[in-house]
Chains A and B, each alone.
Chain A
């Protein structure tokens, strides 16, 4: 997938800057400069941008802030994994979801711990009431819901369903795969105290806390 590292989008309530978290500071800086300078006068002075990032370093955020200020712009706020800030996005995504509401949905339910070396695979969605231990693999055609700690490898939408999600009470897997995307865990795993959901947004796997 060949995406721009930096995308500037207009929305109902101002401009947004979307930054690919895999890009380096230099790349981001060059990209933003290019975008701002190719259209001088397009953005009125004092325009506030909203910075939307998946997970950027604080230093990178600060760098972008400074860069924008040099051009006489400012950052409104940086949003992090917060869908509600963008009503335009929400409208679009709910439009996408509706036709998929399938009346007949199957689900595989497992009331046990999935241990290392086990592979669970199903065309449908999978609900696991128990832990998924390191070394285990859970592969679902649909979504995966784990009522317990997930430490293994989980693959939702394994046959291409990019709308599949992965939910766990404590989501600390070695790898998350959704459809054809792969995300690996950070090298130092922190314990999360809340349930989290992983899904694809803007061509990346993002994780957000949920309540349940």
Chain B
């Protein structure tokens, strides 16, 4: 019983690739066989977040055009053997892959992997249509910000028109202190507007940036709030019923520093 999940958002910069990388690693840590597909052709960066750039031999476009077999293009993660990445091309553009190609590819990968995660490009044009073609489930990533919520709303509408009805929401980069002071939209406002099932609330955390720079997703880091939030999402994807965590307030980093005697 495998699942093809597309991670999308409409707006750029809300954390689609970060989420894909974290969920991929998280699922692999739980022993699942996972393959990640980067469909952001021309602007690939999922490989960077996973620290796999130097291992890429072939890419998605090579596979689609029949130059190599899928197996040869897959890049295995350094740490988790059951996590594979299918990177995309940095030189071609999005017209190199069409929806039917990707659908066929997903069906092929579905046979061998428990989860196929597709990292979708920003926007609602061809790249988006291609990315969602083969998916069973869509995860919409948004931020507590009016423009991100507006775009998420539009994307949910587009997914509905493409008959993708299994849509879930992750709210990323929450700043609990700002939500408390009323400067940031709160979770209820967002859920009221978007009206889809929310499976994750991830706080803004500097560790996400530092771990991305190292190429090691934050999901394994239990010291990080975002890491724990991603681990919870992984559990929810696997069907577990996990309550949303309470965010520690402003002084979290101070507390952390104190704990390390800094």
- Chain A residues near B (Cβ < 8 Å): 113, 115-118, 130-131, 133-135, 149, 151
Are A135 and B154 within 8 A (Cβ)? yes
Query: Is B245 engaged at the interface, CB distance under 8 Å to the other chain?
Result: no
Chain B positions 98-151 with a Cβ under 8 Å from a chain A Cβ: 150-151
Query: Is B153 engaged at the interface, CB distance under 8 Å to the other chain?
Result: yes
A-B contact pairs, 6 of them (CB 8 A): A115-B157, A116-B150, A116-B151, A130-B195, A134-B153, A135-B153
- Chain B residues near A (Cβ < 8 Å): 150-151, 153-154, 156-158, 160, 192-193, 195
Are B195 and A113 within 8 A (Cβ)? yes
Contacts of B160 in A (CB 8 A): 115
Are B157 and A134 within 8 A (Cβ)? no
Distance in angstroms between the alpha carbons of A66 and B156 in the assembled complex: 55
Which of A118, A130, A131, A135 is the one whose CB lies under 8 Å from B150?
A135
Mostly, the A contact residues are: loop
Measured CB to CB, the closest approach of chain A to B48, in angstroms, equals 31
Distance in angstroms between the alpha carbons of A97 and B30 in the assembled complex: 68
Are A117 and B154 within 8 A (Cβ)? yes
Measured CB to CB, the closest approach of chain B to A32, in angstroms, equals 41
Q: In the complex, which residue of chain B has the Cβ closest to the Cβ of A191?
A: B189
Measured CB to CB, the closest approach of chain B to A76, in angstroms, equals 40
Are A131 and B193 within 8 A (Cβ)? yes
Distance in angstroms between the alpha carbons of A139 and B160 in the assembled complex: 21
Distance in angstroms between the alpha carbons of A118 and B160 in the assembled complex: 11
Which of B151, B157, B193, B195 is the one whose CB lies under 8 Å from A118?
B157
Which of A116, A130, A149 is the one whose CB lies under 8 Å from B153?
A116
Q: A131-B192, A134-B150 are in contact. List 15 more A-B contacts (CB 8 A).
A: A115-B154, A115-B156, A115-B157, A116-B150, A116-B157, A117-B157, A117-B158, A130-B195, A131-B193, A133-B153, A133-B193, A134-B153, A134-B193, A135-B150, A135-B153
Contacts of A115 in B (CB 8 A): 153-154, 156-157, 160
Distance in angstroms between the alpha carbons of A130 and B193 in the assembled complex: 10
Which of A117, A131, A134, A135 is the one whose CB lies under 8 Å from B195?
A131
